[in-house]
Structure 1
Amino acid sequence: MVKWYPTEDVQKVRVKRANKPSKLRGRISPGQVLILLAGKHQGKRVIFLKQLEGGLLLVTGPYKFNGVPLKRVPQAYTVPTSTKVDVSGSDFSKINDAYFAKEKENAKKTEEAFFAPKKEKKPFSDAKKAMQKSVDAGIAGKITDPIVKKYLKTKFRLRNGMFPHTLKF
């Protein structure tokens, strides 16, 4: 039992800590091919472009090869490989965390809104499509080796007798 109670209700002040982005793993460098471990594009090979301010990795398929658009991915969901691609020809310096922000809509919580049909997904804006094409054009133009193209197109899968702890990427 507590013998003393405060005379006034005082709310505790909670201090928000600054978001510290995670450090980039030493084995990951721009142009390196990574394997995605989770999400819609699980098992696909992507090219690492840069680390964003929030700590996430900016990767691309290129979209033309394997259907992976410009994405933000946590480092923990990737496996770095020894394959590298030249990314010096593409300009992705304008892409930051704000590029991926979604527009907020003020939805009113009414009975009519509850029974209204669901809204369709908005298509990608023309600006994002143009940015995707410009980034991919610089990268895809540098990939001339047909083996690397085929490598990016194929998914990573474990098969019988393959043990992840013994594989060399």
Structure 2
Amino acid sequence: MAPTAKEEKKTEIRYKSSKPRNYDLGNGVLRFSRTRMYHKKALYKFMGKKVKPTKKPVKPTFVTKEIGGEKNGKERKVYLKKRRNYYPTQDKIRKRPAKKTFKQHKRHLRTNLTPGTVCILLAGAHKGKRVVLLKQLYSGLLLVTGPMGINSCPLRRISQRYVIGTQTKVDVSGVKLPENINDEYFRRQREKRAKKEEGDIFQAKKEAYKVSDQRKADQKEVDKQVLDAIKKHPDRKVLLAYLSAMFGLRSSQYPHRMQF
């Protein structure tokens, strides 16, 4: 038989998800205050009441047994759990699991950070700039570029902690990165200090960092491909202006309320 209208109504009421009494009205403001909810829940009935702790029965460790005969003490204490006869002089060395080194760690990446995502840098010399994410390197760091011609941000590595991923994306599937661009590529070459000799105290000077010709050539090659991908974007004029503009917050602007 088909269910009646009353039965159908009952099932609807049963499975209907109810709204909590005290819900958020917006901006962290609740419908009822703490004092109002104190009276609504009748919490005053439970204030000051203390429940006595229940004591668990203690199991006896030994049993007293009567012993016959004179001068035997009449009774003995017999332990219910027998003690071991043999105790080792040294503790056994436990095998501990070997710690995984950094190169054995898994590299996790946030779901919104995919190749071609326009990111905002939050740290370093280029903080506030918008860059294009190219890929994630073996160390877990992100490889990004400005490109250099738009906002003077070169090819560099940065941790995903110091990056905001936006919804703007560029199709970089056609961008082919040189094989030599890896973690070793960005490592600085530090020369050993020369031994101090007489008369050389003030002559030795620190050499300033100079960009190599190889790096300049790689930057031009990558930037050319990224710019071609940007020009293929339907809103290329807006995107070029967006990448060249610096990110900043004005008064009454909060990043946790913004959608990037």
Q: Match of 2:189?
A: 103
Q: 2:215 aligns with which of 128, 135, 139?
A: 128
Q: Aligned-pair distance for 1:88?
A: 2.5
Q: Aligned-pair distance for 1:65?
A: 0.4
Q: Match of 2:118?
A: 33
Q: Match of 2:172?
A: 87
Q: Match of 2:47?
A: none
2:253 counterpart letter in structure 1: M
Unaligned runs of 5+ in 2: 1-97
Does the CA-based 8 Å contact 1:21-1:54 persist in structure 2?
no
Q: Match of 1:159?
A: 250
Q: Aligned-pair distance for 1:21?
A: 5.1
- Cα deviation, 1:37-87, whole Å, max 9, x if unaligned, reads 011111100110111011100000000000110000001000000000121
Write the distance in 1 (CA, Å) between the matches of 2:218 and 2:176: 9
Does the CA-based 8 Å contact 1:21-1:53 persist in structure 2?
no
Unaligned runs of 5+ in 1: 1-14
Number of residues paired by the alignment?
155
Identity of aligned residues (%): 46
- TM-score normalised over the length of structure 2: 0.56
Please provide the CA RMSD for this pair. 1.8
Write the distance in 2 (CA, Å) between the matches of 1:17 and 1:45: 35
Write the distance in 2 (CA, Å) between the matches of 1:115 and 1:105: 19
Does the CA-based 8 Å contact 1:27-1:80 persist in structure 2?
yes
Does the CA-based 8 Å contact 1:90-1:136 persist in structure 2?
no
Q: Aligned-pair distance for 1:119?
A: 2.5
Q: Match of 2:256, SS?
A: helix
Q: 1:18 aligns with which of 97, 101, 114?
A: 101
Distance change >3 Å, CA 32–CA 113, structure 1 → 2: farther
Q: Match of 1:54?
A: 139
1:78 counterpart letter in structure 2: V
- Cα deviation, 1:74-115, whole Å, max 9, x if unaligned, reads 010000000001212322151110111222312124255653
Distance change >3 Å, CA 136–CA 113, structure 1 → 2: farther
Q: Match of 2:229, SS?
A: coil
Distance change >3 Å, CA 119–CA 79, structure 1 → 2: same
Q: How is 1:112-123 mapped onto 2 (pairs within 5 angstroms)?
A: 114-123=201-210
Q: Greater CA radius of gyration, 1 or 2?
A: 2
Does the CA-based 8 Å contact 1:90-1:137 persist in structure 2?
no
Does the CA-based 8 Å contact 2:178-2:218 persist in structure 1?
no
Is the deviation greater in 20-29 or in 112-121? 112-121
- TM-score normalised over the length of structure 1: 0.84
2:228 counterpart letter in structure 1: G
Q: Match of 2:222, SS?
A: helix
Q: Match of 1:128, SS?
A: helix
Q: Aligned-pair distance for 1:143?
A: 1.4
Distance change >3 Å, CA 85–CA 127, structure 1 → 2: same
